[in-house]
Amino acid sequence: MNPVVKIILQRLALGLLTLFIVSIVIFTAVNMLPGDFAQAILGQGASPEAVEAIRRDLGLDQPPVTRYLQWLGDALRGDLGNSFAQANFSSFVGEGSGGARVTVAQQIAPRFANTMFLAGVTAAIAVPFAVTLGVLAALYRNSAFDKAANVATLTSISSPEFFLAYVLILFLAVLNPVLPSLSNIYADMGFGERLVKTLLPALTLTLVVTAHMMRMTRAAIINLLASPYIEMARLKGIGPMRVIVKHALPNALAPIINVIALNLAYLITGVVVVEVVFVYPGIGQLFVDSVKIRDIPVVQACCLIFAAAYILLNLTADILSIATNPRLRQPK
């Protein structure tokens, strides 16, 4: 078997095993949340019979192992279940018959699309900006520009996300009303208007993820500048910028791709705080709202999507690292 294919299959198997273990952790953690959904729906004055009827209807009266296996089996078939919060329980309180339930997929699909749009806008800004900044910092290392870039990026990554968000709101939405402070987007909104309302949370996330990518680009390039082929290129009279862009950067792609993939995973899984601050209707905001009302199927589905996205992007980073590393593609 080709060594590259073997490594990819090993990474894929490890990713599936990790996802299985994470699913157990997710189910256990969600079901340990304090409070009871049936009691929360009916209120403190509800009769025990009504509470038990809702629990039985939702399957919450079954043993945890049975519920986990059923949830896992349904998830493998692409069925994430029905939302508790969107169900009609009027029949249990004597107000008519219950209505049709809304599936978790129906709730998550538009929110996940919004989060992917936000992640795409952020990546389109952050990746070129961070790589360019890293190249310039390596070219002018130990200069005032290099020191200023390091201080600025370290300050941004050391600051809490909500603090950066509120600072941007203050300067770009309050003192200088350039961008809207709330990202209240909706399905039929045009691309231009959607982009404008997404820019402020995208800029916040850009400040958070730029430091890692910029510093990794800088370190990888500086590490290669002492290589013999770089010295040979310099002796040929090739300019410093061309040496870095044409000779050093292509050979530094493996670590840079890894850190970019990890930060892209963060853009999908770590947007909860930013989405809450800007009231952005993404999957992070849905996750927070679902935790508040104990909507267990939605919470479990959101966590599973976060975990799957993180594992998939890490696997992608491994594959791209192999593809850009001649020593792995052509082992002796």
Residues 130 and 138 sit within 8 Å (Cβ to Cβ) = no
Q: What is the pLDDT of residue 35?
A: 67
Radius of gyration of the chain (CA): 25
Q: Six-digit token pair at 40?
A: 């929360």
Report pLDDT digits (tens) over 242-285.
Answer: 887 777 777 777 778 888 888 888 888 778 888 888 989 989 88
% of the chain with per-residue pLDDT over 90? 9
- CB within 8 A of 148, min separation 6: which ones? none
The backbone torsions φ and ψ at residue 103, rounded to the nearest 5 degrees and listed phi first, read -75, 155
Residues 258 and 230 sit within 8 Å (Cβ to Cβ) = no
Distance of alpha carbon 98 from alpha carbon 90, whole angstroms: 6
% of the chain with per-residue pLDDT over 70? 87
Angle formed by the axes of helices 283-292 and 104-139, nearest 10°:
130
Q: What is the pLDDT of residue 201?
A: 92
Q: Which residue blocks in the chain are alpha helix, DSSP H? A: 3-31, 37-42, 48-58, 64-76, 104-139, 144-158, 161-169, 191-224, 228-235, 240-242, 249-251, 253-269, 272-277, 283-292, 296-323, 326-329
Residue 119: closest CA among 318, 258, 271: 271
Residue 278: strand, helix, or coil: coil
Report pLDDT digits (tens) over 177-206.
Answer: 888 888 888 878 888 888 999 999 999 999
Distance of alpha carbon 114 from alpha carbon 202, whole angstroms: 12
- Structural domains of the chain in order of their starting residue, each with its CATH number: 3-93 (no CATH), 110-317 (1.10.3720.10)
Residues 284 and 271 sit within 8 Å (Cβ to Cβ) = yes
Report pLDDT digits (tens) over 75-108.
Answer: 888 888 888 776 655 544 444 444 457 788 888 8
